[in-house]
Amino acid sequence: MAFIHLHDMEFYAYHGHFKEEQEVGNYFLVNVSIETDISKAAKTDKLEDALDYQKVYKLIDEEMKIKSYLIEPLLMRIVQRLFHDFPSIEYLSLSIAKVNPPLGGKVNKVSLQWQGKRNQL
User: Does the pTM of the predicted model rise above 0.85?
Assistant: yes
Cite the beta strand spans of 14-108 per DSSP E: 26-36, 89-99
Structural domains in the chain?
Answer: 2-120 (3.30.1130.10)
Mean predicted lDDT score pLDDT of the chain: 97
DSSP H/E element including 82 = helix 71-85
Those residues whose C-beta lies under 8 Å from the C-beta of residue 96, and which sit 6 or more positions away, are: 28, 29, 30, 71, 74, 75, 78, 111, 112
**pLDDT mean over 91-114:** 96
Q: Give the Cα separation of 47 and 112 in Å (integer).
A: 31
Q: How far is CA 98 from CA 3, 47, 72, in A?
A: 25, 33, 12
**pLDDT mean over 6-32:** 96
Residues belonging to the active site? 98
If pLDDT is split at 50, 70 and 90, which confidence band does 102 have?
Answer: confident
